[in-house]
C-alpha cells in the first residue's frame, strides 16, 4: 500500500510540476481571457445550473446506480460517484481546466490545451473566458467542472460490482487527464473538432459517447461478473433508482439549458426539449420492452427517461421541439437495443448499461443533431452536417477507446483491476470498505 501511495504521489508531482513551472510572474490577462462585463441574469442562471449539475452526480447518479446493483455492493457503487467528485475537482483546479480550455502557446495543435491556467493562475474576479464573456471566469470554471465530474462517474456503471476501489481511484485520475480533458478541448475548448464544425450543445460526445465507449472497453477488459448469466443480479432497490432518476432529470435542466451560458431564448427551448425528449424516449423504450417481454417495467420507464435525456443532450439548444420529439422517440428503442439485445448478443457484462444508454444514446443524439439542427432556433445550426457529426463521433470513439484501454492496462499492472473471486461473492461493500447496508 505504501508503494502504491508513493507511486500515485509521484504521478501527481509529474503532472503538477510543469504546471508550477508554467506559472506566470503576474496575473496578467491570458490569451483565452477578456475583461469581465458582467451579465447578472446569466450569472445567476449559471450559478443555479452549476448546483443542478453537481446534484446529478451526488446524490443523483449515486442513487440511480446504487439502486441497480445487488445489496452487497451498494456502498461500493455510491463510493465511485463520491470518489470521482473528489478526485476530478482537485485535478480540475491543478491542471484539468487548463488542459480543457487553455489556448496558450503550450496547446498542442488543437488536441489539448496548454498549462497557462494551471492552478487557476491568472484567473481573477475580473476575468472572463472568451467562450462566456458575460460570466465571471470562476463561475465558468465551476460550471464546466460539474461536467468533468459526472463523466467518469458514468463509466463506473460498466465496471460496478467487481473492480478494486484502488483501481477505480487510479482510473479516474488518469482518465480525466488522458481522455476527458483532451476531448473536451477538441470539441468545446477551441480544438480541431469544434473548429471543424462538429456540434455538441451540451455533451453528447464529450460526456456521453466518451463515457459510454470507455465503459464498454472497461467491461470487456474486466470480464464478466462471477455468476453473470446464471445468478440473479436484479436491482436490489428500484426506489433508489427512481429517486436518482428524478434528481438526474431535474439536474439535466441545468446540464442542457445551462449550456446556453445565458438566461435567454436558447436556454428556454433547451429546457423544453429536454423534458419532451425524456418523455418520448420513456414511451419508446417501454413500447419495445412491452412487446418484447409482454410486460412493462418501472426500470424500463426510468431507463427510457435517461436514454431520452442523453439523446437530446447534443441537440438541446439546436433543434425545435419537433426535432426533440423525434430524437427522444428514437433514442428509447435504440438504447433498449444496446442495453438488452446487443449486450446479450456479444456477451459482455456492462453492469448498469453505461454503453447501452450513454454510448448508444449519445451517438443517436449526435447524428440526429446533424439532421434536425435549425438555424431558426440557433444560428449555429446552419452549419449542421451529418457527415461531420459521424466523423466527429469516430474521432471521439477512437480517442476514448484507445486511451481507456491504455489506462486500464496501467491499473492492471499497478493496483490490479479486479477483486478476488471470494471478495466479489461476499460483496464489495464489506471487502473493499468494511461497511454494510442492513435490512
Q: Who has greater pLDDT, 132 or 30?
A: 132
Is the predicted pLDDT of residue 279 greater than 50, yes or no?
yes
Going along the chain from its start, the domains and CATH numbers come out as 2-26+47-433 (1.10.3430.10)
Taking the CA atoms of 114, 116, 119 and 125 in sequence, report the sign of the dihedral they define.
negative
Name the pLDDT band for 108 (thresholds 50, 70, 90): confident
The predicted-structure confidence for 287-336, as pLDDT tens digits, reads as follows 999 999 999 999 999 999 999 999 999 999 999 999 999 999 999 999 99
pLDDT at 281: 98
Place of cell 468545446: 188
**Of 25-29, 56-60, 229-233, 383-387, minimum mean pLDDT range:** 25-29
pLDDT above 90 as % of the chain: 87
The predicted-structure confidence for 160-195, as pLDDT tens digits, reads as follows 999 999 999 999 999 999 999 999 999 999 999 999
Is the predicted pLDDT of residue 119 greater than 50, yes or no?
yes
Name the pLDDT band for 102 (thresholds 50, 70, 90): confident
pLDDT above 70 as % of the chain: 91
Q: List the one residue out of 368, 256, 366 whose CA is nearest residue 317.
A: 256
pLDDT at 105: 64
When pLDDT is averaged across residues 60-84 and rounded to a whole number, the result is 98
pLDDT at 94: 98
Q: List the one residue out of 411, 417, 438 whose CA is nearest residue 11.
A: 411
Q: List the one residue out of 148, 140, 64, 112 whose CA is nearest residue 351.
A: 64
The predicted-structure confidence for 20-41, as pLDDT tens digits, reads as follows 333 333 334 444 677 888 999 9
- Tell me if 264 sits within 8 A of 41, measured CB to CB: no
pLDDT at 415: 97
Name the pLDDT band for 104 (thresholds 50, 70, 90): low
The predicted-structure confidence for 394-437, as pLDDT tens digits, reads as follows 999 999 999 999 999 999 999 999 999 999 999 999 999 999 98
User: Quick one: 149 exposed, middle or buried, by C-beta within 10 A (0-12, 13-18, 19+)?
Assistant: buried
Amino acid at each position: 500500500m505504501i508503494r502504491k501511495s508513493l507511486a500515485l504521489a509521484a504521478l501527481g508531482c509529474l503532472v503538477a510540476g510543469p504546471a508550477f513551472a508554467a506559472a506566470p510572474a503576474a496575473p496578467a490577462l491570458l490569451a483565452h481571457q477578456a475583461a469581465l462585463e458582467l451579465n447578472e441574469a446569466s450569472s445567476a442562471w449559471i450559478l443555479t445550473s452549476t448546483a443542478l449539475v453537481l446534484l446529478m452526480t451526488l446524490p443523483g447518479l449515486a442513487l440511480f446506480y446504487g439502486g441497480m446493483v445487488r445489496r452487497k455492493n451498494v456502498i461500493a457503487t455510491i463510493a465511485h460517484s463520491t470518489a470521482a467528485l473528489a478526485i476530478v475537482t482537485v485535478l480540475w483546479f491543478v491542471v484539468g481546466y487548463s488542459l480543457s480550455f487553455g489556448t496558450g502557446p503550450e496547446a498542442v495543435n488543437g488536441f489539448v490545451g496548454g498549462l497557462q491556467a494551471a492552478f487557476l493562475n491568472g484567473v481573477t474576479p475580473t476575468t472572463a473566458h472568451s467562450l462566456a464573456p458575460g460570466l465571471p471566469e470562476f463561475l465558468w470554471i465551476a460550471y464546466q467542472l460539474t461536467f468533468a465530474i459526472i463523466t467518469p462517474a458514468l463509466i463506473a456503471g460498466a465496471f460496478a460490482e467487481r473492480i478494486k476501489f484502488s483501481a477505480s481511484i487510479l482510473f479516474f485520475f488518469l482518465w480525466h487527464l488522458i481522455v476527458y480533458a483532451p476531448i473536451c478541448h477538441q470539441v468545446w475548448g477551441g480544438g480541431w473538432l469544434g473548429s471543424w464544425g462538429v456540434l455538441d450543445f451540451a455533451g453528447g460526445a464529450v460526456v456521453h459517447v466518451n463515457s459510454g465507449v470507455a465503459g464498454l472497453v472497461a467491461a470487456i477488459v474486466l470480464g464478466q461478473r462471477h455468476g453473470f448469466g446464471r445468478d440473479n443480479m436484479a436491482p436490489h432497490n428500484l426506489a433508489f433508482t427512481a429517486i436518482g432518476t428524478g434528481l438526474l432529470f431535474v439536474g439535466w435542466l441545468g446540464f442542457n439549458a445551462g449550456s446556453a451560458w445565458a438566461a435567454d431564448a436558447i436556454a428556454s427551448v433547451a429546457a423544453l426539449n429536454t423534458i419532451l425528449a425524456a418523455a418520448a424516449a420513456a414511451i419508446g423504450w417501454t413500447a419495445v420492452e412491452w412487446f418484447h417481454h409482454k410486460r412493462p417495467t418501472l426500470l424500463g420507464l426510468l431507463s427510457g427517461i435517461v436514454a431520452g435525456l442523453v439523446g437530446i443532450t447534443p441537440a438541446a439548444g439546436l433543434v425545435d421541439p419537433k426535432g426533440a420529439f423525434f430524437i427522444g422517440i428514437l433514442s428509447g428503442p435504440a438504447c433498449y437495443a444496446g442495453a438488452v439485445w446487443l449486450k446479450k448478443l456479444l456477451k459482455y457484462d456492462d453492469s448498469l448499461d453505461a454503453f447501452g444508454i450513454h454510448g448508444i444514446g449519445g451517438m443517436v443524439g449526435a447524428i440526429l443533431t446533424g439532421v434536425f439542427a435549425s438555424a431558426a432556433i440557433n444560428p449555429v445550426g446552419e452549419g449542421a452536417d451529418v457527415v461531420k457529426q459521424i466523423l466527429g463521433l469516430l474521432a471521439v470513439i477512437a480517442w476514448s477507446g484507445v486511451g481507456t484501454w491504455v489506462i486500464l492496462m496501467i491499473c492492471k499492472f499497478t493496483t490490479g483491476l479486479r477483486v478476488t473471486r471470494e471478495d466479489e461473492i461476499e460483496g464489495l461493500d464489506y471487502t473493499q470498505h468494511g461497511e454494510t447496508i442492513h435490512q
